[in-house]
Structure 1
Amino acid sequence: MQVLTTQKFQTVAFQWPAGFYSDGIHIGLRKAKKDFGWLFSKVPAAAAGTYTTNQFQAAPTKLTKNMINQDHQLQGLLLNSAVANSCTGQQGWDNALQEQRWLANKLAVAPSLIGVASTGLIGAQLPMDLIKNGLPQLTPTKSDAVTYAVLTTDKQPKTISVQCELSGKLVTITGFAKGSGMIHPKMATMLGFVTTDAQVDGDLLQTMLSDNVESTFNQITVDGDTSTNDMVVTLANGLADNPTLVPETTDYEIFNQALHAVLGQLAQQIAADGEGATKLVECNVLHAANEADGQKVAKAIVGSNLVKAAIFGEDPNWGRIISTIGATDAAIDIATVDIAMNGMKLVTDSLAVPFDEAAVKATLQQAKIMIDVDLHHGSAHGQAWGCDLTYNYVKINASYHT
Structure 2
Amino acid sequence: MIASASSIQKVTGFNIAAPKGFRAGGVHCGIKHKKLDLGLVVSDLPASAAAVYTTNQIQAAPLFVTKESISKEQKLQALIVNSGNANACTGAQGLADAYEMRSLIAQKLSISEHMAAVASTGVIGELLPMDAVRTGIRTVEAYASLKSSIDFSQSILTTDTVMKNTTYRMALDDKEITISGTAKGSGMIHPNMATMLGFITTDANVEPAALQGALKYAVDRTFNCITVDGDTSTNDMVLILANGCAGNSQLQPQHKEWSTFIEALLLVCGDLGKMIAKDGEGATKLIEAVVTGTEDDEGARKIAKTIVGSPLVKTAVFGCDANWGRVMAAVGYSGVPFNIGSLSICIGPVCVVKDGMPADFSEQDVIDYLKHHEIKIEVNAGNGSGTGTAWGCDLTYDYVQINASYRT
TM-score by length of structure 2 reads 0.96
- After TM superposition, the runs of 4+ consecutive aligned structure 1 residues lying more than 6 A away are none
Please give the per-residue CA displacement for 1:42-93, whole angstroms capped at 9, x wherever unaligned: 1110000000011110000121122112321111011110000000000000
1:189 aligned onto 2:195: yes
Please give the per-residue CA displacement for 1:116-171, whole angstroms capped at 9, x wherever unaligned: 00000000000000011111211122222100001000001110010000011001
8 Å CA contact retained: 1:297, 1:328: yes
SS in 1 for 2:378: strand
Query: 1:78 matched to which residue of 2?
Result: 80
Counterpart among 234, 250, 271 of residue 277 in structure 2: 271
1:28: Cα distance to partner? 1.3
Query: 1:308 matched to which residue of 2?
Result: 314
Q: Structure 1 CA distance, aligned partners of 2:255 and 2:345?
A: 39
8 Å CA contact retained: 1:36, 1:149: yes
Q: Structure 1 CA distance, aligned partners of 2:379 and 2:252?
A: 37
Counterpart among 367, 384, 392 of residue 386 in structure 1: 392
1:238: Cα distance to partner? 0.3
SS in 2 for 1:234: strand
Query: 2:137 matched to which residue of 1?
Result: 135
Counterpart among 105, 115, 128 of residue 107 in structure 2: 105
Query: 1:3 matched to which residue of 2?
Result: none
Query: 1:42 matched to which residue of 2?
Result: 44
Q: Name structure 2 gaps, 5 residues minimum.
A: none
Q: Structure 2 CA distance, aligned partners of 1:280 and 1:363?
A: 13
Q: Structure 2 CA distance, aligned partners of 1:252 and 1:222?
A: 32
Q: Structure 1 CA distance, aligned partners of 2:93 and 2:224?
A: 31
Counterpart among 326, 341, 348 of residue 342 in structure 1: 348
8 Å CA contact retained: 1:45, 1:74: yes
Distance change >3 Å, CA 346–CA 157, structure 1 → 2: same
8 Å CA contact retained: 2:189, 2:228: yes
1:166 aligned onto 2:165: no
Q: Structure 1 CA distance, aligned partners of 2:107 and 2:287?
A: 45
Query: 1:352 matched to which residue of 2?
Result: 358
Query: Which letter does structure 2 place at the counterpart of 1:303?
Result: G
1:7: Cα distance to partner? 6.8
Query: Which letter does structure 1 place at the counterpart of 2:361?
Result: F
Q: Structure 1 CA distance, aligned partners of 2:197 and 2:390?
A: 18
TM-score by length of structure 1 reads 0.97
8 Å CA contact retained: 1:11, 1:162: yes
Query: 1:96 matched to which residue of 2?
Result: 98
Query: 1:175 matched to which residue of 2?
Result: 181
Q: Structure 1 CA distance, aligned partners of 2:252 and 2:81?
A: 32
SS in 2 for 1:160: strand
Counterpart among 242, 248, 253 of residue 236 in structure 1: 242
8 Å CA contact retained: 2:345, 2:352: yes
Q: Identity over the aligned pairs, expressed in percent? A: 46
8 Å CA contact retained: 1:51, 1:65: no
Q: Structure 2 CA distance, aligned partners of 1:147 and 1:223?
A: 23
Decide which moves more: 105-114 or 359-368: 359-368
SS in 2 for 1:130: helix
Counterpart among 108, 111, 123 of residue 121 in structure 1: 123
Q: Structure 1 CA distance, aligned partners of 2:46 and 2:214?
A: 19
Counterpart among 193, 196, 202 of residue 208 in structure 2: 202
1:395 aligned onto 2:401: yes
8 Å CA contact retained: 1:333, 1:377: no
8 Å CA contact retained: 1:332, 1:377: no
Q: Structure 2 CA distance, aligned partners of 1:328 and 1:33?
A: 41
8 Å CA contact retained: 1:277, 1:388: yes
8 Å CA contact retained: 1:199, 1:237: yes
Q: Structure 2 CA distance, aligned partners of 1:334 and 1:251?
A: 41
Counterpart among 127, 145, 154 of residue 151 in structure 2: 145
Q: Structure 2 CA distance, aligned partners of 1:268 and 1:7?
A: 24
Query: Which letter does structure 2 place at the counterpart of 1:223?
Result: D
What are the residue-to-residue correspondences of 1:242-257 with 2, within 5 Å? 242-257=248-263
1:52 aligned onto 2:54: yes
Query: Which letter does structure 1 place at the counterpart of 2:117?
Result: G
1:248: Cα distance to partner? 3.8
CA RMSD, 1 decimal: 1.1
Query: Which letter does structure 2 place at the counterpart of 1:280?
Result: L
